[in-house]
Structure 1
Amino acid sequence: MIVSFISLGCDKNRVNTEQMMALCLQSGMTVQEDCAGSDVVVVNTCGFIDSAKLEAIETILSVAELKAAGRVGKILVTGCLSQRYQAELLEELPEVDGIMGTGSYGDIVSAVEQVAAGQKFSHFADISGPVEELPRVISTPMHYAYLRIAEGCSNRCAYCIIPALRGKYRSRRMEDILTEAKALSDSGVKECIVIAQDITRYGIDLYKEKKLPELLRELCKLDFHWIRLHYLYPDSITDALIDTIASEPKICKYMDIPIQHCNDTILQAMRRRETNAGLHQLFTKLRSRIPGLVLRTTVITGLPYEDEAAFEELCDFLQEEKIQRAGAFPYSPEEGTPAAKMLNRVDSDEAQSRAELVMQLQSQVMDAFNDTRLGTTLEVLCDGFDPQAMAYVGRSYAESPGIDGVIYFTADRDVQSGQFVSVRITGTMDGDLTGEVIETEE
């Protein structure tokens, strides 16, 4: 049987796709990249916000066109969209042959077999049950991979539907994480990207204390070159964690800390546990104790209670803090969340306009950061060769794959994907950097 997978949304979702692929391969199925010619196409969806839901539905409909043309057999939908709209999916999208929830990834083989046999399949397990330890294959380039250390979220921010889609926060056992990490390092992974909805709370449920510093120190004993951290919640960043990041050379001095906003009224309404003053203090502390630190964050514009003054406060905050990496997203009222029932809403067009304005302001911060790197020599991980740019492309510790800029560079000799090289930065180009190899190292 031939199966293909489409993974949408975040890299946490990607890991689930990789697990399903591994289970299908172990069962003797053939997994191929191209949908055409597949007996079953599995679409692992995101259902977090309106834009993600729209992308998921459009993807399903595009696969349905292939099905109608006889180029694919059956369609199986998994992930957050199916978890969120269990009843509606099969009714409103009759092209779909089966659905599974976010607690059922381990059932992928039986689901594919039943769907391929012409049976309608619908299965939703407990989304707050223990994290199921599953094998996985790597779908990223072999030199970097994501390591998921926990599932779900218990923060229950007022605007977020994630706990209803992924369940309560559940840490994986440290020994299971380290076994998987050892397999990744043994396979040649150079950059291990530690992910969860909130990695700062790792261990609090299993061990009754935050264990991220200990886990990171154990990961640093493995044969990784870089260890990158996504996502750290500001209210749970401890001195022990800061000391670990500062003292371990393998840990990238790069912290992804989603703040969402800085106005105290909005933060309180959103059930965030930070304050404007506290965020300023945190960033000051981090920069003083971790030299060379690069910060990434995300903010939401148009949240309930965001009047003009609150929006100006957000813009002032970002310009004052000069966070090098940031994304801004317009607020999407999600049914089933407390925020969706709040008054004092901002018009959706205005929310979008504010997000665009934030990104315009933020581009100036990022350009200024890039200017400070001109003439410096950076350690760069090569991601491959870009034939359109006629240059190699890679990243320093300051760029996470897929969300930040890249570094285009030239070299007098071949540079392999996954190789670390020293690049002298000579210019900037549309938010990216350009440079030339002055020395190559493994």
Structure 2
Amino acid sequence: MNKKKPIFLLSLGCSKNTVDSERILYHAEANGFTFTQRAEDASVIIINTCGFIADAKEESVNEILAAADMRRNGEIEALYVTGCLSALYRRELQAELPEVDRFFGTSDLEEIIRELGGTSETAAIHKRTLLTPPHYAWLKIGEGCSRTCSFCAIPKMRGRHASRTMESLVTEAAMLLQMGVKEINIISQDITQYGWDTHQRSLLDELLVRLADLGAPWLRLLYAYPQNFPVEVIDTMRKTPSVCNYLDIPVQHISDRILTSMNRGISKEQTMRLLESIREKNPEIALRTTMIVGYPGETRREFEELLRFVESFRFERLGCFAYSHEEHTSAYRELEDTIPPEEKEARVKELMELQEGIAASVNRKLEGKSVEIMIDEIQGTTALARTRYDAPEVDNECIINIGNDMTPAPGELWLAEVTDSSAYELYGNLLAKR
């Protein structure tokens, strides 16, 4: 391929996919290829797809179809598709979309670079060009997932969990800090599994200590599975200033019957005991979770059990999905999708309305207080920012007035006074740089 002709890379889906796209971007650029922000200016299009739930699949397919039209009409010279959807449905996609020059799986970086006409150095496989704003980044500590949740096809797409070496992660984190990253978000399909495949025990706490020693201003933990969660991590969090008092720990449901059917490996009582112990160890922590409603056979009573749990436990952050009946999952094979779509959406709405009230109450407690914020963006005399309790892209936003003679910049830490709030926003005034 002519290296002077630009490539358009479309990255869909989650933060784990973003990291894969960043690696493609780096290694292609290292081989002299250039990229464009517009598909119509490209000679090659690469689409990194998501295949998690129906909506994500539909978005991926629509983007592939649009690019296939461009390939058929001669507007581009090549079209490549990679990622989770490609891994799961490669055979079907190849049959239906001959315009796609080649389909790749989720771990085919070197093949993609070779297909473009370049080479990649195995030792540099984790180097990347950030697609996030330059002050925060994702650090993917493992690939795949060894859990067997009934509703999820990720193990089918990405294989069993494989932990990265601690040394490679420390090296990558140091590289990110040298690039100017101020917030490192630790991710995987399940960070709880880190170390189990290589050392038969959790290494997450040891990794967190090593990363904290590098001097990152903020470290954050995302995507922790409740079963076998290493609670010593919470002790490290509490006593380590750079580790944000924040944990994303998807619970999915609280009904024992549904948890068993989901094959979550943890009961209602065990879940509640774990969450309570986390809060006891670190009363300052903000817990984020995710719920699934409309799971096959979920009765009104079971849904109300979930509502009562959410109301009593009062998660600081919570997201909710309507159950999606996905091929390649055990729930798809063994269970009937019994809840009508409109009922699923009604339950999502009911749960999120409950959570909105909880979130508003949590935020009201911050009014009149000073909080540390990370500046994300400047819009005129307003700074858009986040507190330590807010992960990028999914949590609250701080809308902060910039005073005279103040010149905040993205990536800087400041103190701000909270003057007002809503369920998902904090409002206030900038006080001083940290």
**Could you say what secondary structure the match of 1:231 adopts?**
coil
Partner AA of 1:382 in structure 2? I
Structure 2 counterpart of 1:327, from 309, 319, 341: 319
What does residue range 164-179 of structure 1 map to in structure 2 within 5 Å?
164-179=156-171
Partner AA of 2:107 in structure 1? G
The two structures, once aligned, show a CA RMSD in angstroms of: 1.9
Structure 1 counterpart of 2:365, from 337, 347, 372: 372
Match of 1:337 in 2: 329
Q: Distance in 2 between matches of 1:56 and 1:163?
A: 19
Match of 1:91 in 2: 95
TM-score (norm 1): 0.92
Query: Residues 158, 27 of structure 1: CA spacing in aligned structure 2 closer, same or farther, 3 A cutoff?
Result: same
Q: Percent identity, aligned pairs only? A: 35
Q: How far does the alpha carbon of each residue in 1:33-57 deviate from its partner, in whole angstroms, 9 at most, with x for none?
A: 2222211111100001101101111
Query: Residues 393, 66 of structure 1: CA spacing in aligned structure 2 closer, same or farther, 3 A cutoff?
Result: farther
Q: CA deviation at 1:131?
A: 12
Q: Does 1:350 align with 2:354?
A: no
Q: Does 1:16 align with 2:20?
A: yes
Q: CA deviation at 1:65?
A: 4.6
Query: Residues 322, 58 of structure 1: CA spacing in aligned structure 2 closer, same or farther, 3 A cutoff?
Result: same
Match of 1:117 in 2: none
TM-score (norm 2): 0.94
What does residue range 26-425 of structure 1 map to in structure 2 within 5 Å?
26-67=30-71, 71-113=75-117, 133-340=125-332, 341-343=334-336, 345-386=338-379, 391-412=382-403, 413-425=406-418
Contact residue 182 and residue 222 of structure 1 kept, 8 A? yes
Partner AA of 1:16 in structure 2? D
Q: How far does the alpha carbon of each residue in 1:76-97 deviate from its partner, in whole angstroms, 9 at most, with x for none?
A: 1100011111111122233322
Contact residue 361 and residue 423 of structure 2 kept, 8 A? no
Contact residue 424 and residue 435 of structure 1 kept, 8 A? yes
Q: Distance in 2 between matches of 1:171 and 1:363?
A: 36
Structure 2 residue runs without a partner (length 5+): none
Q: Distance in 2 between matches of 1:247 and 1:162?
A: 34
Q: How far does the alpha carbon of each residue in 1:89-110 deviate from its partner, in whole angstroms, 9 at most, with x for none?
A: 1222333222111121221112
Contact residue 83 and residue 102 of structure 1 kept, 8 A? yes
**Could you say what secondary structure the match of 2:18 adopts?**
helix
Q: How far does the alpha carbon of each residue in 1:346-382 deviate from its partner, in whole angstroms, 9 at most, with x for none?
A: 2222112211211111111111111111111110000
Contact residue 24 and residue 108 of structure 1 kept, 8 A? no
Contact residue 425 and residue 434 of structure 1 kept, 8 A? yes
**Could you say what secondary structure the match of 1:236 adopts?**
coil
Contact residue 186 and residue 223 of structure 1 kept, 8 A? no
Q: Distance in 1 between matches of 2:73 and 2:353?
A: 44
Number of matched residues? Answer: 424
Query: Residues 202, 271 of structure 1: CA spacing in aligned structure 2 closer, same or farther, 3 A cutoff?
Result: same
Contact residue 192 and residue 229 of structure 2 kept, 8 A? yes
Contact residue 363 and residue 423 of structure 2 kept, 8 A? no
Q: Distance in 1 between matches of 2:390 and 2:21?
A: 24
Partner AA of 2:415 in structure 1? S
Partner AA of 2:62 in structure 1? E
Q: Distance in 2 between matches of 1:311 and 1:405?
A: 26
Contact residue 37 and residue 71 of structure 1 kept, 8 A? no
Moved more, 7-16 or 105-114: 105-114
Q: Distance in 2 between matches of 1:14 and 1:344?
A: 31
Q: Distance in 1 between matches of 2:209 and 2:145?
A: 24
